[in-house]
Amino acid sequence: MEGESIEASLLSEGENLKRDDVVAEIDGALKSGATPRMIRFILSCLSGVPYVGGLIGASGNAWSEAEQGKFNQILVAWIKIQEKEIEDFGRTMSEIVTRIDLNDKKTEERIRSTEYLSLIRKAFRESIASESEEKRTFLRNLLINAASCSLCSDDVVKMFIDWINRYSEAHFKVIRAVYKQKGATRGDIWREIDGTDVREDSAEADLFKLLVHELTVGRVMRQYREKDYQGNFLKVNPQRNRSSRSKIMTSAFDDGKEYELTELGRQFVHYTMNEVVQKIEYSI
C-alpha cells in the first residue's frame, strides 16, 4: 500500500510537468553530479526501448535519497508524456514474441544480439508505431522477419524502418498499386487508389505527382525497364515523333509510361506487408 501511495503521489506531481519542463529538468540532471551514467542509461531505455516495469525502483542506492526522489518525479513525468508510445511498444513487442519461434536456437541468439536490439531501439526511438495502426503493423512484421530469417543486411532493415517513418499512408497506397500490377501506368495507379476524375491543375493531381516523384527519387519504384539475363538494363532508342507536337503537357494520370517496384521496393513490400516469410529470392 505504501508503495502504491508513493507511486500515486509521483504520478500526480508528474502530470503537472509539461514536456518543456521535463526536458529542462532532465538536462539539468544530466549536467549535475548525480550519477549521470545511471540517468543516461534510464533515459536511453525510455527513448529507445521503453521498458517501464521497475524503472522507478531500478536506481536502488545509486544516488542519495533526495536526488533519487527528485529524479523519480522527472522519470514519472517522462513516462506519462510517452504513455501512448509505451503502450504501442508493449503491444507490438508482445505480438513479435508470440509470432517468432523462440525454440529455434538461431532465432533466440538473433533476438538477444546487439544488432537486433539496435533495430528495436531505432524502430521505437522515433515513436513510429504510434503514428498509425498501419505503420505499427509494418514495423511489427519487419521486426518479426528480421528475427526469424536473415532476410537482408541490418543496414537494409534500418533503411526500411526509415521508409516506414518517412512515407505516409498515401505513399503506401501507391506502392501497393504498383506491387499489385507490374508495369502499371500512372493512370492505372490513380484508378487503383482513387479513380475519380479530377482536373490537371487540381490539388489532387499535384499531390499524386508528388507521391510518384518522392517514391521514384527514394528508389522505391521506377519506370519499367527491359533487362537481359545478366540483369543489365537495356537502353531504349528514342522514338522521333514526326507529327505535330501537342501543346498540352503530359497528364499526371498518363497511360504511356509504365512503373515497377525496385528490388528494394519489392523486398520492402515482402517483409513489411506480410508476417513471417521466407527470404526473398532474386529473379530476373
Residue 216 CA to residue 198 CA, distance in Å, equals 23
Task: Please report the pLDDT score of residue 84 as a whole number.
Answer: 66
DSSP type of residue 213: H
Task: Please report the pLDDT score of residue 112 as a whole number.
Answer: 79
Residue tagged 498509425 (cell numbers)? 132
DSSP type of residue 61: T
Q: What is each CA distance from 223 to 119, 184, 210, 217, in whole angstroms?
A: 31, 9, 15, 11
Pairing of strands 221-223, 258-261: antiparallel
Are 45 and 89 in contact by the 8 Å Cβ rule? The answer is: no
Domains of the chain: 2-81 (no CATH), 85-166 (no CATH), 169-234+250-272 (1.10.10.10)
For 50-67, the pLDDT digits (tens) are 444 344 444 444 445 555
Task: Please report the pLDDT score of residue 129 as a whole number.
Answer: 59
- What residues of the chain score a pLDDT lower than 50? 1-17, 34-38, 40-63, 279-284
Task: Please report the pLDDT score of residue 125 as a whole number.
Answer: 73
Segment holding 222, helix H or strand E: strand 221-223
Are 215 and 193 in contact by the 8 Å Cβ rule? The answer is: no
Q: How far is CA 258 from the centre of its chain?
A: 28
Nearest Cα neighbor of 75 from 2, 130, 3, 7 is 7
For 104-157, the pLDDT digits (tens) are 888 888 887 888 888 888 887 766 656 788 998 999 999 898 887 666 788 999
Task: Please report the pLDDT score of residue 114 as a whole number.
Answer: 85
| The model's pTM | 0.68
